[in-house]
Amino acid sequence: MRKGFKTRNEHRYVGSYRPRVDGREKASGKAEFFDDIALKIRFPGLLYAKILRSPYPHARIKHCDVRKAEKLPGVKAILTYEDPEIAALKPTNFAWTPFFSISYDRMLWPTYKDRKILSDHVCWVGDEAGVVVAAESENIADHALKLIDIEWDILPYVLDPGEALKPGAPVIHPEINPDGNKIPTSPYSESDTFINRGDAEKAWTEAEAAISVTAHYHNAEHACLGTRGCLMNWKGDELTCWTSYYQADQTRMHITQMLDLPLDKVRVINPYIGGSFGRGNMGEQGFFIFLAILAKRIGRPVLHKYTRREDFHDTRTAVSYECKMGATKNGTITACCFKSLGDSGAYVDHSMAAVDFVPKEFAEETLAHVPNLKMETVLAYTNKIPGGCMRGIGNNQVNLAFGIAIDALAQKVGMDPIELCITNFSHEWGTIPDKSLKAVLQEGAKRIGWTKRHKPCEGHFYEGTKKRGLGFSFHNSWHAAWQELPRGHIQVSIKVNPDGTVILDAPTAETGPGSNSCIVFACAEALSFLGIGPDDIQWISKTDTQRGLKDQVQTDSGISYCHAEMMPRAGAKVKEQILELAAPHLKVTPDELDIEEGRISVKGKPDKGLTVTELFWKGDLVPILVTVSETLPDEVTGTPFCATFVEVEVDTEIGEVKVLKSVVIHDPGTVMYASGAEGQQIGGQAMAIGESLTEEIIYDQATGVPLNFNWVDYKIPTMLEFPDVEPVLMEEWRGAGEYGACGIGESVTTCAPAAIANAIHNAIGVRVNEMPFKPEKILKALQNKAKDEPAAKVMADLE
Amino acid sequence: MENSTDRIRIKINGTWHDFELDRDIRPADTLAYLLKEKMGLTGLKVACDQGACGACTVIMDGEAVLSCMTLAVEADGHDIVTIEDLGENDPVVESFAEQCEPGYGTAMQCGFCTPGFVMTAKALLDENPNPTLEEVREALSGNLCRCGCYAAIAQAVLAAAKKMKAKGTKE
């Protein structure tokens, strides 16, 4: 039995260890996912759409002849780039919004409209090319695609971002940059050097202790269990869209804006969704548009569901960093320089946020007290799978460079890296030492056994050839309420039935993170005067734009508290209405009444009263309905911190790295749901360790073809590779509002890669900074060390 | 097989079903396709369609099999159990649903892999009612959970073993 977390403020339900509210439904197989609904037995007449996928990394369709395919029995319609309705569509991208509903003219990256729906121009192997077929079965649709005669204009391609930036490289998106593959500077930054405080280069050169490290984070894939899909069904001029994307309102906005439809004619429904982790960025995907057109033309429901191979559709943006840090000999950091080269792949989407926006946020929330700070980036197009959001965006990448740099600088200064962090870092609104950071790091050190950490490479061997090492990294958590203000009004509704049970509508796509449970517990907490618990609350699992309330986009790790913050406000309204109803029955005014555990009574006269159910039964039996549409608290509170400590074992003979133990520490301000938060902390390591050690997209350099878009060769950790993970929750920091919580769902993956890199260095004394840390890289680094060591020893002896 | 060549019979959740080849099922249809798309047994999930993730696991003659890697015709004459047959008070289902022991998280997040894990665990516990943690890890290593609920899933399986034992003693 492990020791659980203890909250600083006792709540009845919030912060507790409890089963998930959807546990029974999911464990019994009764939870209906998109895949369970989008079936012919549920939608008679269902057709299946398949899109042509580019076999080339860069090409243009010169000519296509669909006549043979059209004649294939079972083919219902073929739509191509030459169709006038398709050709007339506005250029777009798949990243209109960061996390709230937004229209076409206010999209986040208006300068990067590099996507065209059903384009004749394809930019990576697997890219959606300009032909889509709808047929009676998936097999017929696949067969039809093979019958289409396509004359391709095969264009030169480039896979490496460094090569892509060289003069003479094939230009991928001349409509964005006619001169090359450098993606124009972020519209939110004045130049590619987006932070330039003091004189960081000079301070680094003059520093008493200075280090420079490089780090490379690769294109990891979300690999959600449920693949993406969409089913479009028109009835007259009304369109219903079922989808496994996680943003109903924004999907509706996207469809209506692209097709010039009124909002009331488009209904979007999200059933249970098999994971998201930020895949596909948000609700703006090309298939929503061509499927809506296709389904309208045919007059039957049309389904487009990705195969596993197709679901390798976007990734965590690959970024290479160079990070320089300078400090005094006492360990006061005087300079930090971050220079990154981002690989956006074939389209920008949200990749600019990974290299520009999020590092800015990191500077604000972690590096605020570094006197000289420079951050610069170049983002390039390549002919590869596009980058974008994946459990955060850019946080992991900047943390890899930062975490390794801290470790190297501490070694240079001769200081414990934990001490170095506590004495140098805090957010813009805080002071040093930061209470949250200090608590997080000290607790992590205690749990991993930091005092037993030896000097790099100086540990003894285990089982002959294996060496062990410890490492850690930390990051600011995100997001707190003030950072989620652009969401605008957060809407929830509560219906109290005459028997005292409750129907809660707090719409957000249920992708797994546990926000649904947080919301139910916060609702039970706010309505505890009714004498009810979580089991009395029916939470509506499907998000449906027709129900009226705007759903919160399941992103930014923020939903648990976004909705929970509305619950006390809704609870107060419910109370007010009940007391108003009860007052005439008890022949007093509402302010003379109180309600506790489901019983209304006159203040000071506990005998004079009635239960809520009795009250309802005396009246018209109409439920109490309360809707709240309000904004989050706007007080700027900074953010707390999180860290990951790991112990690894490196087999110096075969180069294999194993994570033996991982301690994941978060200070979310208020723990909304302990079992859920610990589930995130533990679960995040399956992704972070996979990305660090085994997962990698491999391209055939000679053809640009990705070789492992499947789960046999793209290696996701199983239970056997999964280490002992100790989740640690603490409540040191506090934000604004009823709960003052900060998200953790994305940051659970952020610190592990750097922690593992540092632990490898601690074990074997060499740095392997290029992810994934595969055996061949470990062995090569060890060989280089062996080569260098005799020479270094001779040099040292000479000195 | 005693059946004629163009008919197959499969026992599904206790009831024999007859299928006519080419009319009801095609030779290339997988068992997953038959169960899910044709019969509406949607508890099983098809996530990789290549035998890599275990989400489509059903029990055939007492053994966990990947229904995406089994042809429907291969099930001719066999006994198939899907998660629909287990019910909400099945000890394995209950243990997965209830897991919230401090330090391990919950046994599912998105829940897409859960029916596959439940069925694999069910087959394991039917054969080995007292597995060690190592045996659980080994038995479930063919199932992927991208949300990473492995620690809690292992706890749930151990808890299910205890529940089954308690139930057995009562009976």
Q: CATH number, domain at B151?
A: 1.10.150.120
Q: Could you tell me which residues are beta bridge partners of residue A135?
A: A48, A75
Q: What does the pLDDT average to over B69-84?
A: 98
What would the two tokens of residue A747 be? 């940051």
Identify whether residues B92 and B79 lie together within a single domain: no
CATH of the domain at B79: 3.10.20.30
In chain A, what residues touch B140 (CB-CB under 8 Å)? Answer: 718-719
Q: Could you tell me which residues are beta bridge partners of residue A168?
A: none
ipTM over 0.85: yes
Name residues whose C-beta falls within 8 Å of residue A505's C-beta, 6 or more positions apart in sequence.
A492, A493, A494, A495, A540, A547, A549
In chain B, how many domains are there?
2
If you search the block for the tokens 């790790």, which residue do you land on? Answer: A557
Q: Which of A624, A582, A633, A672 is nearest to A493 (CA)?
A: A624
The DSSP symbol for A506 reads -
| pLDDT for A3 | 81
pLDDT-derived band at A98, boundaries 50, 70, 90: confident
> Which uninterrupted H or E stretch holds A413?
helix A395-413
Distance CA B115, CA B57 (A): 8
Q: Which of A249, A735, A775 is nearest to A482 (CA)?
A: A735
Where do the structural domains in chain A lie, given as residue ranges?
Answer: 23-31+482-630, 34-155+222-305, 161-220+315-414
Query: In this complex, do B113 and A24 lie within 8 Å of one another by their Cβ atoms?
Result: no
| pLDDT for A793 | 61
- The answer to which of A111-125, A222-236, A782-796, B120-134 has the lowest mean pLDDT is A782-796
Instruction: Determine the number of helices (DSSP H) and then strands (DSSP E) in chain A.
Output: 21, 30
Distance CA A469, CA A213 (A): 20
Do A792 and A682 contact (CB within 8 A), yes or no?
no
User: DSSP H helical segments within chain B, as ranges?
Assistant: 31-33, 91-98, 114-127, 133-139, 150-170
Q: Could you say which of B46, B83, B106 has the minimum Cβ distance to residue A29?
A: B83
Query: In this complex, do B45 and A225 lie within 8 Å of one another by their Cβ atoms?
Result: yes
Query: In this complex, do B106 and A679 lie within 8 Å of one another by their Cβ atoms?
Result: yes
SS3 of A169-234: the string is: CCCCCCCCCCCCCECCCCCCCCCCEEEEECCHHHHHHHCCEEEEEEEEECCCECCCCCCCEEEEEE
Is the CATH code 3.30.365.10 the one for domain A23-31+482-630? yes
Q: Answer whether residue B2 is part of any domain.
A: no
Identify whether residues B102 and B70 lie together within a single domain: no
| pLDDT for A504 | 98
Average pLDDT, chain A: 96
Give the SS3 label for residue A446. Answer: helix
Give the SS3 label for residue B139. Answer: helix
pLDDT-derived band at A791, boundaries 50, 70, 90: low
Q: Is pLDDT at A337 greater than 80 in this prediction? A: yes
Q: Is pLDDT at A798 greater than 90 in this prediction? A: no
Do A393 and A314 contact (CB within 8 A), yes or no?
no
Identify whether residues B91 and B166 lie together within a single domain: yes
Q: Could you tell me which residues are beta bridge partners of residue A742?
A: A480
| pLDDT for A795 | 60
* pLDDT more than 70, % of chain A: 99
| A155 CB neighbour count, 10 Å cutoff | 17
Q: Which of A402, A572, A553 is nearest to A474 (CA)?
A: A402
How far does the CA of residue A183 sit from the closest CA of chain B (Å)? Answer: 32
Q: Is pLDDT at A787 greater than 90 in this prediction? A: no
Identify whether residues B59 and B105 lie together within a single domain: no
Q: Could you tell me which residues are beta bridge partners of residue A495?
A: A503, A625
In chain B, what residues touch A687 (CB-CB under 8 Å)? Answer: 146, 148
Q: Is pLDDT at A193 greater than 90 in this prediction? A: yes
Distance CA A260, CA A273 (A): 28
Identify whether residues B113 and B129 lie together within a single domain: yes
Query: In this complex, do A308 and B49 lie within 8 Å of one another by their Cβ atoms?
Result: yes
Q: Could you say which of A3, A33, A675 has the minimum Cβ distance to residue B105?
A: A675
Identify whether residues B117 and B78 lie together within a single domain: no
Identify whether residues B90 and B142 lie together within a single domain: yes
Query: In this complex, do B101 and A31 lie within 8 Å of one another by their Cβ atoms?
Result: no
- How do residues A723-765 score in pLDDT, each as one tens digit? 999 999 999 999 999 999 999 999 999 999 999 999 999 999 9
User: DSSP H helical segments within A731-773, as ranges?
Assistant: 752-764
Identify whether residues B77 and B91 lie together within a single domain: no
Q: Say yes or no: do domains A23-31+482-630 and A34-155+222-305 share a fold.
A: no
Q: CATH class for domain A34-155+222-305?
A: alpha beta
Full residue range of the structural domain in which residue B126 is found: 86-170
The DSSP symbol for A386 reads -
Q: What is the pTM of this model?
A: 0.97
| pLDDT for B1 | 45
Residue finishing a domain among B84, B100, B118: B84
User: DSSP H helical segments within A138-247, as ranges?
Assistant: 138-147, 161-164, 200-206
Closest chain B residue by Cα to residue A24: B97
Query: In this complex, do A26 and B114 lie within 8 Å of one another by their Cβ atoms?
Result: yes
Query: In this complex, do A710 and B52 lie within 8 Å of one another by their Cβ atoms?
Result: yes
Q: With an 8 Å Cβ cutoff, is A22 touching chain B?
A: yes
Residue finishing a domain among B84, B104, B131: B84
Q: With an 8 Å Cβ cutoff, is A33 touching chain B?
A: yes
Do A100 and A12 contact (CB within 8 A), yes or no?
no
- How do residues A272-328 score in pLDDT, each as one tens digit? 999 999 998 777 999 999 999 999 999 999 999 999 999 999 999 999 999 999 999
> If you count residue pairs, one on A and one on B, with CB atoms under 8 Å apart, how many are there?
217
Architecture of domain A161-220+315-414: 2-Layer Sandwich (3.30)
Identify whether residues B24 and B70 lie together within a single domain: yes
CA distances from A718 to A34, A367, A721, A760, B100 (A): 25, 36, 6, 22, 21
Q: Answer whether residue B33 is part of any domain.
A: yes
Residue finishing a domain among B84, B116, B145: B84
Distance CA A240, CA A456 (A): 60
Identify whether residues B59 and B113 lie together within a single domain: no
Q: Answer whether residue B1 is part of any domain.
A: no
| pLDDT for A794 | 57
